[in-house]
Structure 1
């Protein structure tokens, strides 16, 4: 009997976790053959997996607050520029050289597809051997 109660409790807990709704926000750059996530914001709780607009709006706020409205030269709380933070990430992903790329904001609801927020950096990102540089177009 006790085993049955424990099993029922485990199944209920698993179902509750499946029903949790969440929102993910991230910044990506576009390459010729793929998209690369360059920054992921903390997960945002939402009430339902149907709340796409709420998720999108919260991600727009996150993108704007972190990047100074898309400014790759804005300073982060870590004392480096947004662009340098992204160059550091790209170096860790074996992409230390990036030239003339915009950074785009995306959101994901409950594990669905990434969707574009409509936001992009105001200037392009350039990394030369992992160091942010001003882009020459």
Structure 2
């Protein structure tokens, strides 16, 4: 599955080819495209779409939570 390939099994700390972690890439995209700079303790879910159909949950989710502060991926408070 692509989700596993690009996230190393749902790890938001996994480093992508562009040098960012998966979590940082998500925080950047959320801030730039959706004007959402702050998120706390969110689970990231995998969705897939076939042939321009609806997006369907593919049963995958992150193994750690997403926290963004001003568009930067940060460690979630315990």
Q: Using structure 1 for the length normalisation, give the TM-score.
A: 0.54
Between 1 and 2, higher relative CO (CA 8 Å, sep ≥ 6) is seen in 2
5+ residue gaps, structure 1, are 1-60
SS in 2 for 1:64: helix
Is it true that 1:96 corresponds to 2:37 in the alignment? Answer: yes
Partner of 1:72: 12
Q: Using structure 2 for the length normalisation, give the TM-score.
A: 0.92
Instruction: Please point out which of 65, 69, 74 is paired with 1:128.
Output: 69
CA distance in 1, matches of 2:22, 2:52: 26
SS in 2 for 1:109: coil
Q: How many residues align?
A: 77
Q: Please identify which structure carries the higher helix content.
A: 1
What pairs with 1:10-89 in structure 2 (closer than 5 Å)? 61-89=1-29
- Aligned residues: CA RMSD: 1.0
CA distance in 2, matches of 1:131, 1:120: 20
Q: Which runs of 4+ in 1 moved over 4 A?
A: none
CA distance in 2, matches of 1:134, 1:87: 12
From the CA coordinates, give the structure whose radius of gyration is larger: 1
